[in-house]
């Protein structure tokens, strides 16, 4: 117990030297939907406050559900604040753009986060300029459920995400694995170490359904906080300039948005060019999923009609040959099919050929 008390003392005592330009440590939690970000904050608050379990973050009670739509802050000590960022679903460039802006602390705290397109994110960042605090020391923490296995195809995605998170915060993220007792922690640790992560912590979160205090879980949280503090202190041993850092991070996020929009522009141009070269594509806009499905049905129909026409030609040719040779029914022309069907001009499926049918795409 003394050990835990000592950890508490270190965490409570931690504050910034005002000369360094920082006043608050923001632990920025980010990751996919339902991986346990909100529950981890509840866990930290429960351990730190040492009272009743409270679902501060409104973490979903139903297993595997999550739905935080806001970027919310939860003060822990007078210096340390936990930030529950909106979880992302697909990690497409619009979601990641927003995630990077959140991580770089360019968007206001305690506001709803919308995934925006185009240059709207730049507008939101500009609007937030007066409300964000340059004196915040940002510390990124990637939250991942140990229940999930990392597919080989996802490795590059995580590598990109973690290195971008480092670029926009100046710190390589630590990893918090949740659902410690339900997954293969060793496997996940190995995967994240291979991606360059130095510090990985595994937790079984306290949840509304399971919050009987255990010494192990309490200790895990306090040790994690102590490690974060050590890391921050290590970084503070070098001269830093919070204002310059913020500008640098902002320029990286702007750069990301610009590149993303340029790529979107190139894609749009290529699509327009394809449509010019093949006018049929004008009728099938790929962004219209319903039409695209119709397009593939139309193509299939066109192929079927074509093969029916070819079959009919072949049948005509065979009939001509038979007529010339003066023979009766040719053998094995089409397996499992009657000569009557063939001579009556029916297709293999017994359907009449679709004569005069408009094959063009709608």
Ligand X SMILES: Nc1nc2c(ncn2[C@@H]2O[C@H](COP(=O)(O)OP(=O)(O)OP(=O)(O)O)[C@@H](O)[C@H]2O)c(=O)[nH]1
Least Cβ distance, residue 42 to ligand X (angstroms): 7
Long-range contacts of 93-100, Cβ-Cβ distance < 8 Å, separation of 24 or more: 93/260, 93/263, 94/260, 96/161, 96/164, 96/256, 97/121, 97/253, 97/256, 97/257, 97/260, 99/30, 99/161, 99/165, 100/164, 100/165, 100/168, 100/252, 100/253, 100/256
C-alpha distances (whole Å) from 231 to each of 58, 75, 198, 206, 330 are 29, 19, 11, 25, 86
CB of 169 to ligand X, least distance (A): 19
Residue 267 phi/psi, 5-degree rounding, is: -60, -45
- Does position 68 bind ligand X by CB under 6 A? yes
Within 10 angstroms of residue 74's Cβ, the number of other Cβ atoms is 18
Q: Can you tell me which of 12, 60, 166, 223 binds ligand X, judged by CB under 6 A? A: 60
Kindly indicate which of the ranges 72-80, 149-157, 200-208, 219-227 contains the residues binding ligand X, using the contact rule CB under 6 A: 200-208
* Residue 105 interaction partner, one of ligand X, Mg ion, none, beta carbon < 5-8 Å per kind: none
Instruction: Measure the CA–CA gap between 59 and 81, rounded to whole angstroms.
Output: 18
Binding mask 75-114 for ligand X (x = CB under 6 A): ------------x---------------------------
Span of 60-68, 127-135, 212-220, 251-259 interacting with Mg ion by CB under 5 A: 60-68
Which residue, 97 or 183, has its beta carbon nearer to ligand X? 183
Distance between first and last Cα of the chain: 75
For Mg ion, the binding residues in 19-48 under the rule CB under 5 A are 37-38
Contact in structure between 20 and 240 (CB atoms under 8 Å): yes
- CA 257 to CA 244: how far, in whole Å? 20
Contact yes or no for 35/188 (Cβ under 8 A) = no
Q: Least distance from C-beta 244 to ligand X, angstroms? A: 32
CA–CA separation, 303 and 297 (whole Å): 10
**One residue of 79, 96, 105, 178 binding ligand X per CB under 6 A:** 178
Give 56 or 240: the residue with its C-beta nearer to ligand X.
56
Site membership for Mg ion, residue 68 (CB under 5 A): yes
Q: Report the residue from 71, 72, 179, 295 that binds ligand X according to the rule CB under 6 A.
A: 179
The binding site for ligand X (CB under 6 A) comprises: 33-39, 59-60, 62-68, 87, 178-179, 203-205, 207
The binding site for Mg ion (CB under 5 A) comprises: 37-38, 66, 68
């Amino acid at each position: 117990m003394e050990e835990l008390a000592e950890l508490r003392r270190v965490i409570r005592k931690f504050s910034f030297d005002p000369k360094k330009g920082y006043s608050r440590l923001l632990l920025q939690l980010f990751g996919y939907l339902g991986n346990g970000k909100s529950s981890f904050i509840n866990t930290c608050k429960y351990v730190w406050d040492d009272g009743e379990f409270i679902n501060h973050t409104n973490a979903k009670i139903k297993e595997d559900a999550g739905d935080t739509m806001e970027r919310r802050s939860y003060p822990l000590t007078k210096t340390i604040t936990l930030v529950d960022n909106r979880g992302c679903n697909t990690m497409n460039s619009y979601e990641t753009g927003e995630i990077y802006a959140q991580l770089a602390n360019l968007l206001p705290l305690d506001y709803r986060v919308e995934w925006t397109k185009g240059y709207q994110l730049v507008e939101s960042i500009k609007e937030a300029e007066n409300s964000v605090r340059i004196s915040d020391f940002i510390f990124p923490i990637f939250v991942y459920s140990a229940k999930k296995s990392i597919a080989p195809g996802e490795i590059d995605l995580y590598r990109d995400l973690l290195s971008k998170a480092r670029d926009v915060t100046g710190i390589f993220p630590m990893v918090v694995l949740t659902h410690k007792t339900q997954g293969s922690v060793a496997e996940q640790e190995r995967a994240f170490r291979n991606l360059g992560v130095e510090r990985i912590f595994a937790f079984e979160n306290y949840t509304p359904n399971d919050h009987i205090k255990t010494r192990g879980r309490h200790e895990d949280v306090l040790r994690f906080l102590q490690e974060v503090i050590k890391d921050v202190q290590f970084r503070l041993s070098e001269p830093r300039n919070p204002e310059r850092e913020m500008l640098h991070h902002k320029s990286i996020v702007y750069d990301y948005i610009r590149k993303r929009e340029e790529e979107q522009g190139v894609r749009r141009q290529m699509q327009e060019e394809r449509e010019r070269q093949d006018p049929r594509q004008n009728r099938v806009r790929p962004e219209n999923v319903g039409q695209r499905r119709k397009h593939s049905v139309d193509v299939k129909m066109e192929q079927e009609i074509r093969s029916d026409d070819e079959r009919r030609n072949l049948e005509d040719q065979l009939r001509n040959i038979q007529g010339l040779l003066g023979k009766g029914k040719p053998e094995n022309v089409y397996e499992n099919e009657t000569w009557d069907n063939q001579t009556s001009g029916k297709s293999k499926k017994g359907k009449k050929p679709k004569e005069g049918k408009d094959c063009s795409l709608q």
